[in-house]
Structure 1
Amino acid sequence: MDFLKSCINKKFKNDEPWKIVLKTVVASGALYGAGCLASEIRENGLGETVLAIAKKTPIIKDIIEKELAKVKSKAEEMALTSKEVLEYKVNSELPSKGVSREVLMKDLTKWEEIERSKYSRGQTSGTVYHGDRSLADFAGDVMKMFCLANPLHPSTFPFVQKMEAEVVAMTLKMFQGTSKDHCGLTTSGGTESILMAMKAYREKGYAKGIRRPEIVACVTVHAAFDKAADYFGMKLVHVPFDRRTYQADISAIKNAVTRSTVVIVCSAPCYAQGIIDPVEEVASFIEENDLDVGLHVDCCLGGFLAPFVRIMDERKGLPKFDFSVKQVTSISADTHKYGYSPKGTSVLMYASRELRRMQYFTAPRWTGGIYATPSAAGSRPGAVIAATWAVMMHMGLEGYMDASRKIMQTADTIKKGIGGIEGLEVMGDPQLSVIGIRSTNPDLNIYALAYSMGHDKGREWELNSLQNPSCVHICCTYMHKGLGPKFVDDLRGSVKDVLENKAYYAKKSSVAIYGTTKSAPGSLVGETSKAFIDALFKLPKVKPEESKS
């Protein structure tokens, strides 16, 4: 310490006091700025940080704005590509006189037929999970009966309240949530389930004095966790996946946990490659280190498939992912996917009532009365809850088991078939319905392959193009039953076509949204995405004389 004092005194001995103060302020400011810059780089990456600074420079800003103008124009074209929609009159204001039901039903019937034709052939990845017309009509009949019901008013709609509680109870039983503490609620979909769960963990973190609670999750988790962190002022700490298994890297998870961590997230399965993360290993890490952190398992995609696959004799190797793992504190599972209920419903489950209460909102002093809601919405559609209950009761254990078996037969056929196609491989060991496919041949562009599968020689398969790493996937549903051999044959044909027509497919693959944005900084891709969303709410330009109604 004496040596340090001596050095400082020697350095400033000839300076006037004001200069010493000024140098101190400048040095402190420089250190603070460097610290902020380092923090930005750690959180957003070097490319994003440099771009953010560059965008404030007038010349760079002008260049970026010109490029964004082109991007926005292209995004509008992408959003408004349906020629069928352009054939109909655009309504930008209320009609002066109400339109008859007969006229409206004529248009609505036609529109529904057009949209149904796009998925009824059974070659769309995910999207529609059952597709049986009689089941859809049954759910629609139930929704019609309860179309005015609102769970916000339980005294007026007691049977909707009853059905909602039973949907939660049945789902809890599927996930081994059998103790008196296990509880849950319904939401509008997987995203809201994830948002509400993270909100609960944030509140728990605040109660512990954590100023910015952290979520630890693999980069393969659903983007709704990014949304939750953004909405609720949390920090999402992404960890990598194992390059061989595509599971969350358990070592990276252990290294990422800090005193500010409130929850670790595992997927069962993840959206991209359909891989189940090592839930039991994460749980053991939490238990062995006596950590006061939650463990959320996101089963939004496979929630109403995995429990039934688990009890099939031939699937005994499926890892544990539910409340049978003691450290699991919450689970999200969508009823509107493999539960076959109407969009949008999901169930969010907790291991304790105390944690569930942390997601609630109350306004006890509001002039309109005491206001309290369990989730983000106030009024909620009782019709969807009633239809979900009715579908679950109608399907029963036997119905879900039968559907799950057929789905897994298709998935197994596709996985085995891909193994016999040179230049392609299945990513990791997907144990449910989602199969990630990557190219092992540098000459085989995976996005070109997806284009060929969707557009050439009548194949009409709609696959999901993914990124980081470049790949595609198919999410097998009940709609795909019996189509496994056709998919494999079409995939083999597409591989052959892409390799034999490289010049043609080089142009086609460039329009794949993930293929063209993969190397661009995230903020520019974000602007492109926002322009696309803007375009979805933009009325199409249709000449009155060209419209049908």
Structure 2
Amino acid sequence: MDTIRLFYLSLLDKFDPQLHFLQEKARSLNQQLSSTYSPLQLVTTTALVTTCVIGVYRFIFIHEEDLVIRLRETVFRLARRLPVVQRQIAKAREDTLTSVCNDIATSIAGHKFIQSLPTQGLSKKKLLEKLEQYRNFEKINFQDGQVSGCVYKIPRTDMTDIYQQIFILFGDSNPLHVDVFPDIRTMEAEVVRCVATMFHGNESVCGTMTSGGTESLIMACKTYRDLAYSKGISKPEM
């Protein structure tokens, strides 16, 4: 410890003229600022400069995205505030909205919307007739399975009959409550195990079922992100 202390003392002695020079410069600058600006101005300016420096530092170094990407996004965000760009964006948005509204209106032309609950409920026959009217709104033939990402349907009547019967059996269940519905819990576990076996997973592989493709993708990204966190990666990329 004495050796280290002597080493640092020798360094201070060696650079003492430079330190003394810096101290004098700082003292002179402090006196000049104090005589030129009021304490309130000094405090306000210091706070603003510190905030700007911290903001620039965070923008450059403390961020998950690359600096070039963030600069590009910043330029585009500022460009969108220009009046000429805003007019172009507004026109494109209006054209898109008009096109979508026209397509939707065409598919339900002549329909009178229900705007309040009826005072008396419909009979089973009337209800089915009403639903059949809604069913006739369909203009796009998805039955052949040619509408990508919309309905995954197999054009086979026997398969349709099967999943309709299955829906009758389990339509009133809730997979969130596995203690109340052990049948749903068991089927989910079996499906997960079948998929794990398909991908050569061992007994430690586990999983869960989601409500759709989008949620599945999000959950997969979250899983890999959390895995990266557990390995010490502070800024994982997807």
TM range (shorter): 0.5 to 0.7
- 1:156 partner amino acid: V
Pair 5,191 (structure 1): closer, same or farther in 2 beyond 3 Å: farther
- 2:162 partner amino acid: F
- 1:34 partner amino acid: V
| CA–CA separation in structure 2 for the residues paired with 1:170 and 1:91 | 46
Residue 88 of structure 1 aligns to a residue whose secondary structure is coil
Residue 185 of structure 1 aligns to a residue whose secondary structure is coil
Pair 28,13 (structure 1): closer, same or farther in 2 beyond 3 Å: same
Specify which of 91, 94, 98 is matched with residue 117 of structure 2.
94
The total of aligned residue pairs comes to 210
Specify which of 121, 129, 146 is matched with residue 106 of structure 1.
129
RMSD of Structure 2 on Structure 1 (CA): 4.0
Residue 151 (structure 2) pairs with residue 151 (structure 1)? no
Structure 2 counterpart of 1:38: 60
User: C-alpha offsets along residues 275-330 of structure 1, whole Å, 9 cap, x if unaligned?
Assistant: xxxxxxxxxxxxxxxxxxxxxxxxxxxxxxxxxxxxxxxxxxxxxxxxxxxxxxxx
Residue 214 of structure 1 aligns to a residue whose secondary structure is coil
| CA–CA separation in structure 2 for the residues paired with 1:43 and 1:107 | 57
Greater strand percent: which structure?
Answer: 1
| CA–CA separation in structure 1 for the residues paired with 2:135 and 2:67 | 48
| CA–CA separation in structure 2 for the residues paired with 1:43 and 1:147 | 51
| CA–CA separation in structure 2 for the residues paired with 1:89 and 1:170 | 48
Shift of 1:133: 3.6
The structure whose Rg is larger is 2
The answer to which structure, 1 or 2, has the higher relative contact order (CA under 8 A, 6+ apart) is: 1
User: C-alpha offsets along residues 434-468 of structure 1, whole Å, 9 cap, x if unaligned?
Assistant: xxxxxxxxxxxxxxxxxxxxxxxxxxxxxxxxxxx
Greater helix percent: which structure?
Answer: 2
> Would you say the 8 A contact 2:175–2:181 is kept in 1?
yes
| CA–CA separation in structure 1 for the residues paired with 2:32 and 2:230 | 45
Pair 145,176 (structure 1): closer, same or farther in 2 beyond 3 Å: same
Pairs within 5 Å for 1:201-216 = 201=224, 203=226, 213-216=234-237
> Would you say the 8 A contact 2:107–2:139 is kept in 1?
no
Structure 1 counterpart of 2:197: 173
Residue 159 of structure 1 aligns to a residue whose secondary structure is helix
Q: Percent identity?
A: 29
Shift of 1:90: 1.8
| CA–CA separation in structure 2 for the residues paired with 1:126 and 1:137 | 23
Residue 203 (structure 2) pairs with residue 189 (structure 1)? no
Shift of 1:102: 2.9
> Would you say the 8 A contact 2:196–2:206 is kept in 1?
yes
- 2:74 partner amino acid: T
| CA–CA separation in structure 2 for the residues paired with 1:17 and 1:150 | 74
Structure 1 counterpart of 2:6: none
Shift of 1:28: 4.2
Structure 2 counterpart of 1:390: none
> Would you say the 8 A contact 2:143–2:153 is kept in 1?
no
| CA–CA separation in structure 1 for the residues paired with 2:221 and 2:149 | 26
Pairs within 5 Å for 1:317-356 = none
Structure 2 counterpart of 1:15: 29
Shift of 1:132: 1.4
Shift of 1:188: 0.6
Pair 102,164 (structure 1): closer, same or farther in 2 beyond 3 Å: same
Pairs within 5 Å for 1:117-128 = 117-120=140-143, 123-128=146-151
> Would you say the 8 A contact 2:192–2:208 is kept in 1?
yes
- 1:19 partner amino acid: L
Pair 130,13 (structure 1): closer, same or farther in 2 beyond 3 Å: same
Q: TM-score, normalised by structure 1?
A: 0.32
Q: Is there any run of 5+ residues in structure 2 with no aligned partner, and where?
A: 1-10
Pairs within 5 Å for 1:306-385 = none
Pair 169,117 (structure 1): closer, same or farther in 2 beyond 3 Å: same
Q: TM-score, normalised by structure 2?
A: 0.65
Specify which of 50, 73, 77 is matched with residue 94 of structure 2.
73
> Would you say the 8 A contact 2:192–2:207 is kept in 1?
yes
Shift of 1:6: 6.8
User: C-alpha offsets along residues 65-98 of structure 1, whole Å, 9 cap, x if unaligned?
Assistant: 6555444433332333131223322233323332
Q: Is there any run of 5+ residues in structure 1 with no aligned partner, and where?
A: 218-549
| CA–CA separation in structure 2 for the residues paired with 1:48 and 1:36 | 16
- 2:54 partner amino acid: Y
Residue 236 of structure 2 aligns to a residue whose secondary structure is strand
> Would you say the 8 A contact 2:143–2:155 is kept in 1?
no
| CA–CA separation in structure 2 for the residues paired with 1:202 and 1:196 | 10
Pairs within 5 Å for 1:432-511 = none
Structure 2 counterpart of 1:539: none
